[in-house]
């Protein structure tokens, strides 16, 4: 039986999801847990690569069960063997051809900014603290220009050899509550570091270091040096992955 599990993880202590040599990853911990549960180590398919330090509220993984366990029993069964900073909270059966990454319809990320001269001790590991007062209206105007289908090459970190850099952003919202600013983006896919560079560019607009309307020219330039800095990993959280059935 093929299953899709959904998990939360605090990425602070991990080098992202994907297994790497000489680095502690979420996938490695998950496979260790699955090996203890099933007696064999099943290959797993993650919904995305995530950078070191990035968090997840709804990371999805699919795999073929080496022996059948009812999906409703899986979260507690797997959690017994996982460290406290990773938790499976949902599981369901999926078709054999399902792939957590390639079957996804869209992915949502949340990026959290603390716009304050003082860090929040409870939220500090999950936010980018920006001292300069940010104009959220300017951030919203810049974000609106990123919505739709564009070539996002200007928002891709070097080191990626991807050819097709066109993506569709379904929405890109900026909400403020006190000194917390939450940027919520949904797209059909993302280039390497795309969300973090987009957020870095919104902060330029919010700090009045660029005009929000310049966002259109930055996109059109396809030039990484025209966009803002890459926002720190710790503010980023993979919020939700949508499939045809969710």
Binding site for its own copies (CB under 8 A): 8-10, 55, 75-76, 79, 84-89, 117-122, 124, 126
Closer residue to its own copies, CB minimum distance, 8 or 157 = 8
Least separation in angstroms between residue 126's CB and its own copies is 7
Q: Which residue among 51, 120, 164, 179 is the active-site one? A: 51
Closer residue to its own copies, CB minimum distance, 83 or 189 = 83
CA angle 172, 173, 178 (to 5 degrees): 150
Q: Name 160's Cβ contacts closer than 8 Å, sequence gap at least 6.
A: 191, 192
Judge contact between 61 and 244, C-beta under 8 A.
Answer: no
Of 66, 52, 55, 73, nearest in space to 5 by CA = 73
Closer residue to its own copies, CB minimum distance, 119 or 162 = 119
Judge contact between 8 and 57, C-beta under 8 A.
Answer: yes
Least separation in angstroms between residue 56's CB and its own copies is 9
Least separation in angstroms between residue 129's CB and its own copies is 11
Closer residue to its own copies, CB minimum distance, 84 or 96 = 84
Least separation in angstroms between residue 16's CB and its own copies is 16
Least separation in angstroms between residue 8's CB and its own copies is 5
Closer residue to its own copies, CB minimum distance, 88 or 231 = 88
**84 included as an active-site residue:** no
> Three-state secondary structure along 76-138?
HHHHCCCCCCEEEEEEEEECCCCCCCCCCCEEEEEEEEECCCCCCCCCHHHCEECCCCCCHHH
Judge contact between 90 and 6, C-beta under 8 A.
Answer: yes
Active site amino acids:
51
């Amino acid at each position: 039986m093929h299953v899709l599990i959904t998990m939360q993880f605090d990425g602070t202590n991990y080098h992202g999801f994907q297994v790497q040599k000489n680095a502690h990853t979420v996938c490695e911990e998950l496979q260790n847990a699955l090996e203890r549960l099933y007696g064999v180590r099943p290959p797993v398919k993650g919904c995305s690569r995530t950078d070191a330090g990035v968090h997840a509220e709804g990371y999805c993984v699919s795999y073929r069960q080496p022996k059948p366990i009812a999906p409703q029993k899986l979260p507690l069964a797997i959690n017994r063997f996982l460290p406290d900073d990773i938790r499976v909270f949902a599981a369901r059966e999926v078709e054999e051809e399902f792939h957590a990454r390639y079957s996804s319809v869209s992915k949502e990320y949340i990026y959290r900014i603390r716009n304050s001269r003082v860090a929040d001790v409870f939220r500090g590991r999950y936010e980018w603290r920006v001292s300069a007062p940010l104009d959220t209206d300017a951030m919203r105007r810049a974000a609106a220009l990123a919505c739709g289908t564009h070539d996002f090459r200007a928002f891709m970190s070097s080191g990626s050899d991807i050819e097709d850099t066109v993506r569709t952003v379904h929405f890109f919202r900026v909400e403020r509550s006190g000194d917390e600013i939450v940027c919520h983006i949904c797209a059909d896919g993302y280039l390497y570091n795309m969300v973090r560079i987009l957020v870095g560019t919104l902060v330029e607009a919010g700090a009045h270091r660029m005009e929000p309307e310049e966002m259109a020219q930055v996109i059109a330039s396809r030039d990484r040096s025209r966009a803002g800095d890459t926002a720190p990993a710790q503010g980023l959280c993979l919020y939700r992955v949508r499939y045809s059935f969710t």
